[in-house]
Structure 1
Amino acid sequence: MEHVDGFGEFDLGNNFDLLDLPSFDEFLINEIDDITLSQVCETIEFENAAYEGLLDFSLSPGNGNSSMMEIESKDIASSESRFAQPVSDDDIKNLIKDQENVNTKNNTKWAMNLFEKWRASRGGDIPELNHMTSEQMSFWLGRFVMEARKKDGTEYPPRSIYLILCGLLRFLKDNGVYDKNFLDESNGEFAEFRKLVDARMKSLIDKGLGCDVKQADPILPQDEETLWLKSVFGRETAEQLQHTVFFYACKLFGLRGYDEHHSLQCEQFKIGEDSAGRYIQFTGRATKTYKGGLGHLNVQSKNLKHHSPPGDRCMVDYFELYLESLGNTGAFYRRPLPPTDEVLIRFGQQLVGVNKLKSFMKTIAEKGELKGNFSNHSGKRTCATQLYISGVSEQEIMRRTGHRSEKSVRKYKRSSEQIDVAVSKILDPPQNKSVCVKSENGVEPPRKKVKCESASEENCSSEFRVLQDLTNSNKAVFANCSFNFRIGN
């Protein structure tokens, strides 16, 4: 069965975007080469040793014992302030739990609730999932995949089936069951179950389920210009400025729909200037594609610098004004306040609500009267699409969006209307040039008569007269054509 990227992190509503779903790899156990890990640990120990001055420590016969006693006494004296208080098992569990993605937790809970409701509807003695044997799990999960339905009784699309199984697998791992990975192709105990899932997903595709995936539309350049002309973007009011900064934080730095914005801090932005001009520097933190754990030792967080030329739409000026209005510290999205006689742009200390932040892009599109399916994910898609249309390399697009594979970033690139029209013209059948082509309004283009511009009609060649008679008749039509003639010798 094909490995599917992009699952796990999603909106549980009806219009969730499949591109919000985190990779299935994220809830598999990350495997790290032991040699690589040991080398990294040695490097860290070396750096710590150098930092603490231990590399310069010498055990010479003259001062060895006294130096050792002195260092030991210093270690004992400073140990109380150097180390944290002893941690409990609950502290460790809470730390691990807090680092789990909220949407991933919701996906696990949703999948288990669905499974438990199905188990109750069956009425029999179906064991609890984490207490099943491999044989029982293969049997009952197969029945569950075949019988699961939405609340309205309709069948789930193929990817939803896969999401549900991913949620059930995470539940097993959260409860210490690691030896029953029914999606692992190397696990022969569940080979028949995977064949069933594969056949089930294919049969749903045959029924047309899951073929039309609803995705967020990008904001194309003409729509972006409309937002400026209709004053949706600007810096006359706090709300207008916030909407502008929100959109361009998505577009310039490829920020994700909600999760990256929710935790965004003013300290992650820096205004600077170099030989190329003024710039905004953004430093990312933990995201869906960068967690910072053992599995991401060779992955770095975003560190992007965006230069903007001076002008009335210079983004450096907009971000600088916005950051100054927030005091250059703290949460990046706070509630706008009404202007005063002294200060036009004001923000309070209260954070923008979750639901309001999630609807920012939809609000922007509605104010601009844009047509399409716009959500907060439109911002990241706008970044990838506009770079793609302009011919930027996939490597640079990935650097901006934060994707770690070409396959993932290609899902974000959407064709523009101009590209679609050009491709359509290329693939259309050749036009019959003997038939008059009418314009878009259905009116036949006017015929242009050919005139001989020589001093007298007698100077026109016989060939030119033939062409003149032909084009001035109703038997042929020439449109948008240029003719060059050489009269005489």
Structure 2
Amino acid sequence: MAGTAHPTFTAAEPGQGQKDSDAVSPRVYPSRSETDIDITHRIGIKDTIQLFSDLLEEEQYYYPDSQTSRQQILWWDIYRRKGTNGPNSQGQHDIDTKPTPIPQSSGSNNNNNTGSIERYGNCQASNEEMNDFIRNQIPKNTIRKHRTDINQLRTWLNLTQSEYREIHLIPPNELDQLLSKYFYSTRKRDGTEYEPETLHSFFNSIDRVLRENKYQWSVKTDAPFEGTRRVLAAKKRNLKAMGKGNAPNKTEPLTADDIDELYNTGQLGMHSPSALQNTVWWFLTTQFGLRGVQEHYNMELGDIVEGEEVIHGDSVKYIEYNIERQTKTRQGENPRNTRKIKPRMYEKKANSDRCPVAAFKKFIKMRPKSMLAVDSPVYLAINYKVCGDGNWYKNQRLGINSLRGLMKTMALAANLSGKKTNHSARKTLVT
């Protein structure tokens, strides 16, 4: 406890936040000059700890004065209940501050009332509602991956082991044997071996499902599942010896020649609705570092702002990523895990055909007026019926599947070699 001086306090009358049974006569309180250490010396550590523990569960007062801390309120209550003498320099108690009982809600809608129930939102939520809220914050791709992995395990258990119980209902010793057999024998549908990383992802999915169902043991750390962990480790070593684990299906970044080919074949540019939207997607990915699908899909028009900056005496326009939403590595659980610098992309005056600012400005110009609000989605469905300078896009968000296939569609049209997906654009940024 810090040795800091406390303000003085006085007791509320019975019925104003305290129980009659708590009343102490005569009422004696700490003086203004006393510290936490003085209080502990006076009433003893044992009594102090016991009273402090009790009071943690029955706070009855608050102070409008923001300088009065929760600890000070609790120390005042200790003195009120203990009735210990704490004289000031004149041998009297300096009493000038009265705690206020916590106000009860009268049902009126008063925004200035700090005790008003409205400020606390849905405080009557059930456990089921809160569990649904938690599940809704899990990324959909994660849920889909876990469901697929568990369904595969369930099918294996049904067909090969005649086991129909849910895995969280199987005792640990039995489940350990079953999982050991599973990781030793499981194969792809064509009979070939999985990659080591795939087996590890299966293991993570099993662990998460067991934790969600409050299984008593952890497959990752607890002794009953040592057999599973040893079989999995041996299996991954065996697969590596067979030449697995080299990411044969990895996405490839684009080379400078690939990018030129996309422009030359009309997949990138500002001449058509699809090319313009592809170009905006390309710049937002390679300049802002966005992941290829979900982060683009969640982005709203108000997340991006235009600006101007003087660089070496020359005025240069830019586009800034002003509001970052939830990402794969920044889910929001740690409020300090944010971008330290807001990313920007600057105009290219010497190459206006490949200027990110010019492309974004035209993209805004060719949108319907109803889709210019700050909460409008960035990517829109293409309006193929409008020609010329009319609206190139519909009053409709671009579907996530169309967004997911942008790079693959462009690569096929431009006849690019290698595996090209949306992640290729982000890989190009870091190569």
Q: Partners of 2:303 and 2:359 in 1: how far apart?
A: 16
Tell me if the contact between 2:253 and 2:427 (Cα under 8 Å) persists in the aligned partners: yes
Matched, 1:317 2:362: no
Q: Partners of 1:99 and 1:72 in 2: how far apart?
A: 32
Matching residue within 352, 356, 362 for 2:402: 356
Q: Could you list the per-position Cα deviations for residues 77-129 of structure 1 after superposition, in whole angstroms to 9, with x for gaps in the alignment?
A: 98254332332223212211111111111121112111111111134457542
Shift of 1:232: 2.2
Q: Could you list the per-position Cα deviations for residues 332-366 of structure 1 after superposition, in whole angstroms to 9, with x for gaps in the alignment?
A: 11112147567345211222222211110012222
Matched, 1:289 2:329: yes
- Equivalent AA in structure 1 for residue 332 of structure 2: G
3-state SS of 1:362 partner: helix
Shift of 1:136: 2.0
Q: Partners of 1:216 and 1:92 in 2: how far apart?
A: 39
Matching residue within 315, 336, 340 for 1:298: 336
Q: Partners of 2:382 and 2:65 in 1: how far apart?
A: 53
Matching residue within 283, 288, 311 for 1:253: 288
Q: Partners of 1:328 and 1:77 in 2: how far apart?
A: 35
Which position in structure 2 is the counterpart of 1:165?
A: 203
Tell me if the contact between 1:338 and 1:346 (Cα under 8 Å) persists in the aligned partners: yes
Over the matched positions of the two proteins, sequence identity in percent amounts to 23
- Equivalent AA in structure 1 for residue 150 of structure 2: M
Q: Which moved more, 1:93-102 or 1:212-221?
A: 212-221
Matched, 1:331 2:381: no
TM-score by length of 2: 0.68
Shift of 1:216: 1.2
Q: Partners of 2:172 and 2:184 in 1: how far apart?
A: 18
Which position in structure 2 is the counterpart of 1:148?
A: 186
TM-aligned CA distance change 1:262 to 1:53, over 3 Å: farther
Which position in structure 2 is the counterpart of 1:215?
A: 250
Which position in structure 1 is the counterpart of 2:347?
A: 308
TM-aligned CA distance change 1:180 to 1:72, over 3 Å: closer
Which position in structure 1 is the counterpart of 2:5?
A: none
5 Å-filtered alignment, 1:113-128, equals: 113-124=151-162, 128=166
Tell me if the contact between 2:105 and 2:117 (Cα under 8 Å) persists in the aligned partners: no
- Equivalent AA in structure 1 for residue 395 of structure 2: Q
TM-aligned CA distance change 1:72 to 1:207, over 3 Å: closer
5 Å-filtered alignment, 1:124-143, equals: 124=162, 128-143=166-181
- Equivalent AA in structure 1 for residue 398 of structure 2: V
Which position in structure 1 is the counterpart of 2:236?
A: 201
Which position in structure 1 is the counterpart of 2:120?
A: 83
In the TM superposition, structure 1's runs of 4+ consecutive aligned residues that sit over 6 Å from their partners are: 60-65, 67-73
Tell me if the contact between 1:242 and 1:322 (Cα under 8 Å) persists in the aligned partners: yes
Q: Partners of 2:101 and 2:174 in 1: how far apart?
A: 63
Tell me if the contact between 2:220 and 2:229 (Cα under 8 Å) persists in the aligned partners: yes
Q: Could you list the per-position Cα deviations for residues 32-77 of structure 1 after superposition, in whole angstroms to 9, with x for gaps in the alignment?
A: xxxxxxxxxxxxxxxxxxxx985379xx999968x98999986559
TM-aligned CA distance change 1:228 to 1:78, over 3 Å: same
Tell me if the contact between 2:347 and 2:355 (Cα under 8 Å) persists in the aligned partners: yes
Which position in structure 2 is the counterpart of 1:94?
A: 132
Q: Could you list the per-position Cα deviations for residues 427-446 of structure 1 after superposition, in whole angstroms to 9, with x for gaps in the alignment?
A: xxxxxxxxxxxxxxxxxxxx
Tell me if the contact between 2:196 and 2:240 (Cα under 8 Å) persists in the aligned partners: yes
5 Å-filtered alignment, 1:267-282, equals: 267-276=302-311, 277-282=316-321
Q: Which moved more, 1:93-102 or 1:300-309?
A: 300-309
Matched, 1:180 2:221: no
Tell me if the contact between 2:262 and 2:414 (Cα under 8 Å) persists in the aligned partners: yes
Tell me if the contact between 2:319 and 2:344 (Cα under 8 Å) persists in the aligned partners: yes
Q: Could you list the per-position Cα deviations for residues 304-356 of structure 1 after superposition, in whole angstroms to 9, with x for gaps in the alignment?
A: 12223324122112112223424153111111214756734521122222221
Q: Partners of 1:95 and 1:379 in 2: how far apart?
A: 33
TM-aligned CA distance change 1:288 to 1:62, over 3 Å: same
3-state SS of 1:255 partner: coil
Which position in structure 2 is the counterpart of 1:226?
A: 261
TM-aligned CA distance change 1:69 to 1:262, over 3 Å: closer
3-state SS of 1:281 partner: strand
RMSD over aligned Cα atoms: 3.2
- Identify unmatched segments of 5+ residues in structure 2: 1-62, 69-93
Tell me if the contact between 1:266 and 1:323 (Cα under 8 Å) persists in the aligned partners: no
Q: Partners of 2:319 and 2:214 in 1: how far apart?
A: 45
Tell me if the contact between 1:218 and 1:381 (Cα under 8 Å) persists in the aligned partners: yes
Q: How many matched pairs?
A: 328
Which position in structure 2 is the counterpart of 1:55?
A: 66
Tell me if the contact between 1:271 and 1:320 (Cα under 8 Å) persists in the aligned partners: no
Which position in structure 2 is the counterpart of 1:241?
A: 276
TM-score by length of 1: 0.60
TM-aligned CA distance change 1:365 to 1:68, over 3 Å: same
- Equivalent AA in structure 2 for residue 166 of structure 1: N
Q: Could you list the per-position Cα deviations for residues 142-192 of structure 1 after superposition, in whole angstroms to 9, with x for gaps in the alignment?
A: 011112122223332222211111111111011112x422223xx343333
